[in-house]
Amino acid sequence: MIDLGTLSNRTRKSPVFRAGAAYAVFAFIVVQVATLIQDPFGLNQAFMQTLIWVFLIGFPILLIVAGAVSSRFSTLKILGVFGGLLLLTYGGGTYIWVKASVMPVIQSALEKDDYLAAWKASQKIDAYAPFFSSTKLLDESISTIAKIEVTQSDAAIYWRPYAEQSYTEWEYLGHSPQSEFRLPNGLVELKLEKESYETSHIVSANPSPRFNNMSFNPAPKIAPVELQPVGSIPPGMVYVSPGSHIPVAGDGISEVNLRPFYIDKNEVSNKLFKEFIDAGGYEKREFWKNMEIVREGVSLTFEEAKKYMVDSTGLIGPAGWEVGTYLDGQGEMPVTGLTWYEALAYARFRGNILPPMNHWAAAAYPPFEIVAPISPKLIPNSNFANTRLRRTGKNGLGPYGTYDMVGNAREWVWNIFGGVGMTMGGAYSDPSYMAAMQNPLPRFDRSLINGFRTARLLSPQDMTPFDRPVASYENKGKQVPYKTMSDDVFELYSSTFSVSPIDLKADSLYQDESNDLWIKERVNIELGYESSTMDILIFRPKNQFEPLESVIFHPGLNYYMSPPDIDEVSIGEFGLDFIVKSGRAVVWPALKGTMNRLFSSKLTKDSPWSEQARAIRETNIHWRIDTHRTIDYLQERPDFDADSVFYLGMSAGSNAPTHTLLFETRYKAAVLYVGGGTPYSQPPVSDGHNHIPRIMTPILMLNGEQDYIIPKTRVEKFFNDLGTPIEDKKLIFFNSGHWPLPRNQMIKETLGWIEKY
């Protein structure tokens, strides 16, 4: 029997013990030294954790190696040990690499909603550590499965990120009819190729209606990609597919249907316009027929007009040319300094027309830019706020393969706007918000930033009704001059919005616990007007027992136009699940005009103004009552915190609540997504702009820098006019369009604001 002393001596003499002891001492010294120099050398916590993990994983490996070397085992057994060690080293090393090196990169990227950077990092994990348990969950947080439908079979599909200098190579996805591919969230460019067909280029956000993966219900639909036979697309043009779209111009919310058409890939260049001049373009009357040429209010004959269509030296040609031609080296630059009449004559020379406004907008932006914008990337990659033009075909790739439709030269379109001509897209010298603005301009204007491109419709009938004059956006409705109400008048007016208590007769219709995160409850209450009742949807977190803070949600315009069945409504549609995850309830009342309470009135924007004014006034009163009753109901329930009620509005729900926020004092704070006030005129008693200075609720406004529905200038005016003390209001612009906002930043700011109050 071996005594303890003998065992202790043998252990100390063992090569394994000696190696382990030396290793432990060495590791301890290294960690201590690293701790001492951590601050002077800027070593972060992740470095220290990685260092400790390396030593911890290395310790058993060292012991096994020392034991194998000093043992009498066979070579085969030792090789087996080393094989196991290699696997252990690989597993441990990749774990440390993922945790200490890759995950911080992904986390940092996600905090900035930089999904491409997060995607690139996650691809490394897929390549080198496919066994990593959270890879699937990670992929789902930074990417979405895109369904790419193509009419033709056997078309090769490629993708790459949009406008990324470090990522220019095309990556093969597959062949149609295969249609589902996982792509990073954000803006992507697709290329589709098939023998005997023209190559098709598409730019789209992911998720988007193009990829059939939007959370909106019902989601807008886009027809499958239809490749065009070789030779069917006119040279220098691209094919724009047919279907519904919401044009990025005008009111920005009305759908229009267009048949397919062609449009120039690039702005017309100096070189191409010179061909028109050399072919007698200013002499052949067929290019100028039926033009009513007006200059400074005076009608001119064609011969009279030509006297003004001269270059800087007095010869026929664009205003910036010299001696009848363009300057040296400027052949590929956009031709500028042209009237609308000259642009149309050139278009006829090519057998084309100037694009009507709706066709121009359909080629410049995707069909539903309002919900899946490309502008946050398109505009920064276009020529804005600059000092000079750039060559055609280099900047601002559009959804169908066009270039420079926004920025560079502003482009003449067909329509009359506000009694004069119109350009679209903005110029290199303009601020970037002009990308989505109609710009009224006399048709004889020859500014050196006026350019154009041409379009070709498949049938002359396709011009109707898109060739009609366009009403000025600001002139819609009746303009009613007014002044801010006096306190006495306002007090009298306020009585209209007073709400008396009633018996709500609340009835819980059902509770649905099928979701992993929340319980969905549908409740019906009395309202006290028009014998009406209202359903309220409540999404509350599971396993939460203390009184809940509540966030009352007012949705966007789609819930007034084509809402889903109320029992299919989900907070996941607008990404509001984060509120439930934070331990709060989302309360979604079916306000008058939404969900199962759609307006029965047949009023339109062309209805008499008196009828519109009455409807607006009644709707504001009903919304006031609806929201008041909702809070009354929450205060009746013991499972809700009666003193912690917040308002959250999205789009129309952010533009319409001024009366609610003005008269409802029980909101602790409000968050407005993409709000800023309606541009449409309303009667003084109903116009929310009249009451903004009286609102005192703490308000956070989150908006998109490239929002063409609610421009930045209007948002800033709304914010500045708020009566809320400056320390209780906050405005943030993200690099986004109207919707969606960058999710992770939106969550951070929203929860931070709610927690503050």
Question: How does pLDDT run across 330-372, given as a tens digit for each residue?
Answer: 999 999 999 999 999 999 999 999 999 999 999 999 988 888 8
CA 78 to chain centre: 59
Percent of the chain with pLDDT over 90: 48
pLDDT mean over 165-190:
89
Q: Give the lowest-confidence range in 181-195, 251-265, 459-473.
A: 459-473
pLDDT at 500 over 50: yes
How much is the pLDDT for 485?
65
Which of these, 234, 254, 236, lies nearest to 245 by C-alpha position?
A: 254
For residues 717 and 381, give the distance between their C-alpha atoms in angstroms, rounded to a whole number.
28
Is-contact 352 456, C-beta < 8 A?
A: yes
End-to-end CA distance of the chain: 74
Which of these, 739, 598, 603, 616, lies nearest to 680 by C-alpha position?
A: 616
Chain segment 218-237, per-residue pLDDT in tens: 667 888 999 999 999 999 99
Query: Helices 340-349 and 270-278: crossing angle, nearest 10°?
Result: 70
Ranges 159-163, 268-272, 384-388, most confident: 268-272
Which of these, 753, 679, 671, 750, lies nearest to 713 by C-alpha position?
A: 679
Widest pairwise Cα distance in the chain = 124
How much is the pLDDT for 476?
39
How much is the pLDDT for 12?
62
pLDDT at 130 over 70: no
Partners of 355 in the β-ladder: none
Chain segment 463-494, per-residue pLDDT in tens: 888 888 876 544 333 444 445 667 777 777 67
Q: Give the lowest-confidence range in 60-69, 100-109, 165-174, 712-721.
A: 60-69
For residues 449 and 455, give the distance between their C-alpha atoms in angstroms, rounded to a whole number.
20
CA 459 to chain centre: 34
Residue 168's pLDDT band (cuts 50, 70, 90): confident
How much is the pLDDT for 480?
42
Residue 586 φ/ψ, nearest 5 degrees:
-100, 125
Q: Give the lowest-confidence range in 133-142, 316-325, 742-751.
A: 133-142
Residue 480: strand, helix, or coil: coil
How much is the pLDDT for 112?
85
For residues 213 and 368, give the distance between their C-alpha atoms in angstroms, rounded to a whole number.
13
DSSP string, 629-642: HHHHHHHH-TTEEE
Helix (H) / strand (E) containing 62: helix 45-70
| 117's tokens | 């950077």
For residues 356 and 263, give the distance between their C-alpha atoms in angstroms, rounded to a whole number.
11
Chain segment 33-47, per-residue pLDDT in tens: 777 777 776 666 666
560 versus 666: the higher-pLDDT residue is: 666
pLDDT at 719 over 80: yes
Q: Give the lowest-confidence range in 195-199, 365-369, 503-507.
A: 365-369
In 129-166, which ranges are continuous DSSP H helix?
Answer: 135-142
| 233's tokens | 């697309």
Residue 167's pLDDT band (cuts 50, 70, 90): confident
For residues 326 and 333, give the distance between their C-alpha atoms in angstroms, rounded to a whole number.
9
pLDDT mean over 414-418:
86
Residue 489: strand, helix, or coil: helix
How much is the pLDDT for 475?
39
For residues 89 and 58, give the distance between their C-alpha atoms in angstroms, rounded to a whole number.
8
The structure tokens 């990324």 sit at 164
Partners of 553 in the β-ladder: 648
Query: Residues with Cβ < 8 Å from 7, sequence gap 6 or more?
Result: none
pLDDT at 292 over 50: yes
How many C-beta atoms surround the C-beta of residue 454 within 10 A?
26
For residues 357 and 360, give the distance between their C-alpha atoms in angstroms, rounded to a whole number.
5
Ranges 456-465, 624-633, 646-655, most confident: 624-633
| 192's tokens | 């589709």
For residues 187 and 115, give the distance between their C-alpha atoms in angstroms, rounded to a whole number.
10
| 199's tokens | 């190559």
Helix (H) / strand (E) containing 451: strand 450-451
For residues 129 and 140, give the distance between their C-alpha atoms in angstroms, rounded to a whole number.
17
How much is the pLDDT for 271?
97
Which of these, 260, 198, 199, lies nearest to 190 by C-alpha position?
A: 199
The angle subtended at Cα 145 by Cα 378 and Cα 702, nearest 5°, is: 50
How much is the pLDDT for 63?
67
Q: How many alpha carbons fall within 13 Å on the CB side of residue 405?
A: 30
Query: Helices 45-70 and 15-37: crossing angle, nearest 10°?
Result: 170
For residues 348 and 287, give the distance between their C-alpha atoms in angstroms, rounded to a whole number.
6
How much is the pLDDT for 121?
83
Is-contact 408 417, C-beta < 8 A?
A: no
Helix (H) / strand (E) containing 88: helix 75-97
pLDDT mean over 655-663:
79
Query: Helices 135-142 and 103-111: crossing angle, nearest 10°?
Result: 20
Helix (H) / strand (E) containing 117: helix 115-128
Which of these, 702, 369, 757, 751, lies nearest to 577 by C-alpha position?
A: 751
| 742's tokens | 């960058």
Partners of 439 in the β-ladder: 423
Residue 66's pLDDT band (cuts 50, 70, 90): low
pLDDT at 546 over 80: yes
- Report the mean per-residue pLDDT for the chain: 84
pLDDT at 286 over 90: yes
| 80's tokens | 């087996």
pLDDT at 190 over 80: yes
pLDDT at 3 over 70: no
pLDDT at 408 over 60: yes
Which of these, 662, 698, 731, 609, lies nearest to 490 by C-alpha position?
A: 662
What is the gyration radius of the CA atoms in the chain, in angstroms?
33
Query: Residues with Cβ < 8 Å from 706, sequence gap 6 or more?
Result: 373, 375, 376, 379, 432, 433, 435, 436, 735, 736, 737
For residues 554 and 673, give the distance between their C-alpha atoms in angstroms, rounded to a whole number.
10
Query: Residues with Cβ < 8 Å from 349, sequence gap 6 or more?
Result: 276, 279, 281, 287
54 versus 555: the higher-pLDDT residue is: 555
Is-contact 360 405, C-beta < 8 A?
A: yes
Which of these, 295, 290, 320, 296, lies nearest to 306 by C-alpha position?
A: 295
CA distance readout (Å), 352 to 234, 281, 458, 580: 10, 14, 10, 55
Is-contact 337 450, C-beta < 8 A?
A: yes
Is-contact 392 254, C-beta < 8 A?
A: no
What DSSP state is assigned to residue 728? G
Q: Give the lowest-confidence range in 123-132, 267-276, 332-341.
A: 123-132
The angle subtended at Cα 640 by Cα 639 and Cα 644, nearest 5°, is: 155
Query: Residues with Cβ < 8 Å from 608, sequence gap 6 or more?
Result: none
Query: Residues with Cβ < 8 Å from 498, sequence gap 6 or more?
Result: none
pLDDT mean over 90-115:
78
Chain segment 576-610, per-residue pLDDT in tens: 999 999 999 999 999 888 888 877 665 555 566 56
Residue 499: strand, helix, or coil: coil
The structure tokens 């058993």 sit at 60
pLDDT at 27 over 90: no
Is-contact 571 579, C-beta < 8 A?
A: yes
pLDDT at 143 over 60: yes
